[in-house]
Amino acid sequence: MEQQVLSGSGGLGFDMSVPKNGYRWWYVDGFSDCGSHGVTLIFFIGTVFSPFYASARKQGPVDPRDFVCVNAVFYEPKRKHWAMTERQSRDLQTSASSIKIGPSAMSYDGNSLVVTLDERSAPFRRPIRGKVVVDIPEMTSECYALHTGGEHRWWPIAPTASVRVELDAPQVSWSGSAYVDTNGGTVPLEQTFDHWHWSRAAIDDRHCRIVYEAHASDGETCLMTLFGNASEGLAAEHSAPRRDLNVGPVWRVDRPARSYQGFTVGKTLEDTPFYTRSHLLDASGNSVMHESLDLGRFSSKWVQRLLPFRMRKILYWLSDARGLRIAIPFSKSLK
């Protein structure tokens, strides 16, 4: 997968093709200046964590456009607002400058990434509606392979950016620092990797440190530490020693991190059977977003059966000759 498959011509690659059984996601995260609020937004074509997509792939090559998804999470001091809704190809619209999945969209005008949201939270279906604007002063030009086979690529679009959150429902408003990237692959994550760990630290207003550590099932490890910003470029640094955080508090997922001075866990943002997301603080008090993914657990039958409880799947209904309503199938039963 070459760089242009991710970046397109001058845009963010919203309209680039995604191969069968492959995936593409656009990711935004941010913390408020006070450190009390956070956001994570992911738009998927080929939802990598969908049990429905995983089940459908077992039957043969599948069009990832039939498994598109918006994951929107807003972290507040005492609660979070969380939505993850998967839809089908009829709900997907793409152009060189935008992607629209159902009622939500991302658009890029050359200066800002504007995300308009109209989602429903899980499990209580409360509205999450409003706008997130990420100002991107400059973009990086480098795209990185995460495995020598070339099936998985990562483009850190904006290592340093600023974000404004304005939600009508719930009423949430704040501004702070942000980060934007995109990943794409020609095969499922779990086909290549066993474990996947990532972190990004906002060192100051202009500099970011990113650590990527991906362990493949063939024994290969991708380990890179990058420092800088879009205007200066991201320079490779020697990777710091591994200092494991405490495992996830409920599901006990390992959380390896790399640091010379160590981290403290400000808050565990997500604790699931196969994935953790954490707000860390480094020795200088800088905010760090950290993720750990256990793909062996993700592939297990018991986790696959739990996942539909956190992900809404939009079905469309037709009437058969007898007038009975039938769902347009998106996959067979989970196997």
Per the listing, tokens 């939009």 go with 314
The letter for the amino acid at 258 is R
pLDDT truncated to tens, each residue of the chain (335 aa)?
A: 344 457 655 689 999 999 999 999 999 999 999 999 999 999 999 999 999 999 999 999 999 999 999 999 999 999 999 999 999 999 999 999 999 999 999 999 999 999 999 999 988 899 999 999 999 989 998 999 999 999 999 999 999 999 999 999 999 999 999 999 999 999 999 999 999 999 999 998 889 999 999 999 999 999 999 999 999 999 999 999 999 999 999 999 999 999 998 899 999 999 999 999 999 999 999 999 999 999 999 999 999 999 887 787 886 544 444 444 334 444 333 43
Sheet holding 193-202: strands in order across?
Answer: 233-237, 221-229, 208-216, 193-202, 287-294, 275-281, 264-271
Alpha-carbon separation of residue 186 from 48, 89, 140, 183 (angstroms): 12, 18, 22, 11
**How would you write 83-144 as a 3-class SS string?**
EEEEECHHHEEECCCEEEECCEEEEECCCEEEEEEEEECCCCCCEEEEEEEEECCCCCCCCE
C-alpha to C-alpha distance for 26 and 169, rounded to whole angstroms: 23
The letter for the amino acid at 330 is F
Centre a 10 Å sphere on the Cβ of residue 91 and count the other Cβ atoms it contains. 20
Domains, the chain, in order of start with CATH, read 4-327 (2.40.370.10)
